[in-house]
Structure 1
């Protein structure tokens, strides 16, 4: 959800999941929420109490918690009038889309060695650098690879910007700045000013370094442009790196990926005889060219253990009455961290807000659509897996879409539903990217409320939840976040609630239902999201990306 930059990725141990057929004899859950009106605060809270209970053990993929979650979702979807949304090879239907994942775990404690004319210096794992590999090889050994400063590591032909132009990165290590070239300047140099684009995300920078054939890729950590301190990177060091199964076993990625802290970076530039601040300023201008870092060479050896496991997306669909091939998607991730480091004897990260609330919303939106009658277009409700491991359920869906992207009208994603009471506003993350903004604004205005733009666009929250992979297919998306202007207590109380959640409950065992929960504001937000989906589902409307949105080209290509 919106606070994903705060905590490290969880290490999960996936267990084999029983199939629905194998679980047919399991006792059914009593879905108490169905005794309350659809999309009501009572129904939402009732689902969350079940999904975030200790019995579900934090809903980690591949655990008994996944089995219970899938069972609950299947029964709820069926009771809500949905059909299984996955068509298997033999023509039968299933509620689950099996998702193959790989995990790569370091078995050694690596050392990063940077050598130059002044000798060799070694840096300490976790405290000074972090590194991993996406290649599923037992050993990755990089020796004396030249370092090249590639600015922000961006190759954006549509913007006329290529930090790699004129340099052959094969056998070399790319040294890269985080965020976009216009983050610090604030003026829009093609990347939206201070608002981060996908080109500013660390995930993109590693992907592009791999496409350029780099032997390694190192990002320089700076707290402001990264939007989180070094401790966040340090806390995830050593964790298993999860990914979808790739045919090339990660061969298209750089041999290693990682970060160096700011002190190491400054020392490295000094050793190379380079002025970091001057080069950084050059990298913020169009026409920048990569700069070899003198005589410096990098060496590192990574030893890795890999495994492959299966988890599941859960998919239900309400077929359209007139144009069933055209689909609106609602999505939310069902997974959380499972067992986690104990606090006061509690080692279950229940994930009540993150994201039992979004999972509950899927069920209740399905009930609401059914209660109001099937729409003209189909509506799909997708509960995605492995979001906490890097949006992997959504990535798998991107690679194996169940509904044709060119016929998918829009996607609405939910990650953390307001549990603190009514607000005067609702925040749109990624505001300004598509015409979905206009639809949610009209729905919220009809409630006597207002839409607020993303309050922290420079942090790139738009690129940190599952809807990203729908957007990369070209599908216009809507992702909202809690408003902070509380009816009871105003902005001051809203900010205090958000800050307290991040400080005390986010990705901790204390993310549980308490007596203070008030889902009335969340229900109001979901009524607006329902209104947007219903309007699209009962019309011939096709929302479009704005001219400056980086996903517009993908949409145009898919529609052709």
Structure 2
């Protein structure tokens, strides 16, 4: 009898939610938002590392939520998860830098940011960060980059030196560069790729050299041969990335499909910071994943819409947007039928540069999507960080390059917890996050039930 009563109460609750959705009064409850984050950003998920079993578990959780909201399998799929094989070389963490009789060791003397997984060597060249754009040296040189004052100067220097033909770049550590390794998750980036993608030639070899070790290198004569040596571990078993995909079929097959997306992975487990080695990714991007799930919750409970809606939470974004690449190569609906893509990234905190309660939309000025959704009540505004190129740094860009109007809605663009272990539940603004998601329910419902088709403004569409 108790079970029957509980079932009746639950059924009544579902009927009440469905009626609310029908009347356009759907309310996103903060406890729903909190519950998703409690699971996705828990230490038990080990930071949801890209192309790992933890990523698979995360995709399975999202898929189960999609199923509970009444979403269907996407066309051609027999489940809610799309899996793609990846090639991901791993190193033994014992790289060395050798210059004559001088040998520097990874960990104690330097941190290896990026590796092509090949051993490289070349004549030593010193370049100051202030003169990096005009630097001239023999291709294949090993460059000792001095005077970098922060992450922006480091990444600008790396870009210029790679273009100039540096075989390896050794960045001398300064107080301003210490956070660069943290931004990489305190792990070496290797050329991970989809198994069906072509292997790229070359690659980057970059290390942050600790101050004491840098003095040893600075004493080495210019032109002396310096080598960077690594060891690649044997491949034990195939690795995969996982996209969770749900689908709401529309009433008009010719009206096209709206895509709502986020990425479900983060950095996994890395070197500890203040004793914490789990990069929980509560904001990046459990928050965006939560937004997609709660929009699926709202739209799934309502009446059938004119357009179909596709909900995707991609895997392996942090490893180079591999999940969205895989979807682009294996779309479940023809890409020409995608009306638009709205990506959600790091919506868990209010940006101090934005009006209260408002999310930034990357590439706002590139199309009429953001202004139109804002006119219908979405709390969206222009990105105040054009110099950061956020439009090109999320999964939306893969589709934008194919001509689809695709943008990312985000919270604080430069949040201090970015790629740090303290990106956890304690640092989320749940009230802001819940209100932001709530503001998008009816505008997205309107978009999926209308004839409005977002369009690029003149010159706004990015080119491959």
1:205–1:236 distance in 2 versus 1, CA, 3 Å = farther
1:265–1:552 distance in 2 versus 1, CA, 3 Å = farther
Q: TM-score, structure 2 length as denominator?
A: 0.71
Question: C-alpha deviations, 1:411-433, integer Å up to 9, x for none?
Answer: 21112333689934332344434
Match of 1:241 in 2: 190
1:345–1:552 distance in 2 versus 1, CA, 3 Å = closer
Q: Does 1:142 align with 2:120?
A: yes
1:133–1:347 distance in 2 versus 1, CA, 3 Å = closer
3-state SS of paired residue (2:304):
coil
Out of 410, 421, 425, the position equivalent to 1:507 is 421
Match of 1:280 in 2: none
Instruction: State how far apart, in whole Å, the 1-side matches of 2:333 and 2:301 are.
Output: 24
CA contact (8 A) 1:334 1:385 kept: yes
Q: Does 1:300 align with 2:228?
A: yes
- How many residues align? The count is 433
Out of 49, 72, 85, the position equivalent to 2:74 is 85
Question: C-alpha deviations, 1:139-193, integer Å up to 9, x for none?
Answer: x3334468798x99x9xxxxxxx999x9995x666899999xxx99xxxxxxxxx
Out of 12, 31, 34, the position equivalent to 1:45 is 34
Match of 1:133 in 2: 115
1:128–1:478 distance in 2 versus 1, CA, 3 Å = same
3-state SS of paired residue (1:396):
helix
Out of 63, 79, 82, the position equivalent to 1:97 is 82
How does 1:350-365 map onto structure 2 within 5 Å? 350-365=280-295
1:269–1:323 distance in 2 versus 1, CA, 3 Å = farther
Query: Please, which runs of 5 or more residues in structure 2 have no aligned partner?
Result: 1-9, 18-25
Instruction: State how far apart, in whole Å, the 2-side matches of 1:221 and 1:463 are.
Output: 28
Structure 1 residue 131: Cα displacement: 5.6
Question: C-alpha deviations, 1:355-414, integer Å up to 9, x for none?
Answer: 333222212211222334333332211111123444332333344443433432222111
Structure 1 residue 298: Cα displacement: 4.4
Q: Does 1:257 align with 2:208?
A: no
How does 1:429-440 map onto structure 2 within 5 Å? 429-440=362-373
3-state SS of paired residue (1:232):
helix
CA contact (8 A) 1:39 1:361 kept: no
Instruction: State how far apart, in whole Å, the 2-side matches of 1:219 and 1:345 are.
Output: 27
CA contact (8 A) 1:57 1:348 kept: yes
Out of 498, 521, 545, the position equivalent to 2:432 is 521
Q: TM-score, structure 1 length as denominator?
A: 0.60
Query: Please, which runs of 5 or more residues in structure 1 have no aligned partner?
Result: 1-29, 155-161, 185-198, 273-293, 485-494, 555-560
Instruction: State how far apart, in whole Å, the 2-side matches of 1:176 and 1:147 are.
Output: 9
1:306–1:437 distance in 2 versus 1, CA, 3 Å = farther
Match of 1:310 in 2: 240
Instruction: State how far apart, in whole Å, the 2-side matches of 1:528 and 1:453 are.
Output: 18
Instruction: State how far apart, in whole Å, the 2-side matches of 1:176 and 1:410 are.
Output: 43
Instruction: State how far apart, in whole Å, the 1-side matches of 2:446 and 2:436 are.
Output: 16
CA contact (8 A) 2:41 2:282 kept: yes
Question: C-alpha deviations, 1:520-547, integer Å up to 9, x for none?
Answer: 4323322444455444432241321552
Instruction: State how far apart, in whole Å, the 1-side matches of 2:334 and 2:147 are.
Output: 34
Match of 1:465 in 2: 394
Structure 1 residue 219: Cα displacement: 7.5
3-state SS of paired residue (1:310):
strand
CA contact (8 A) 2:85 2:195 kept: no
Match of 1:367 in 2: 297
1:524–1:552 distance in 2 versus 1, CA, 3 Å = same
Out of 96, 121, 124, the position equivalent to 1:111 is 96
1:200–1:381 distance in 2 versus 1, CA, 3 Å = farther
RMSD: 5.1
Q: Does 1:423 align with 2:356?
A: yes
How does 1:145-160 map onto structure 2 within 5 Å? none
Instruction: State how far apart, in whole Å, the 1-side matches of 2:145 and 2:172 are.
Output: 9
Q: Does 1:475 align with 2:408?
A: no
CA contact (8 A) 1:56 1:64 kept: no
3-state SS of paired residue (1:47):
helix
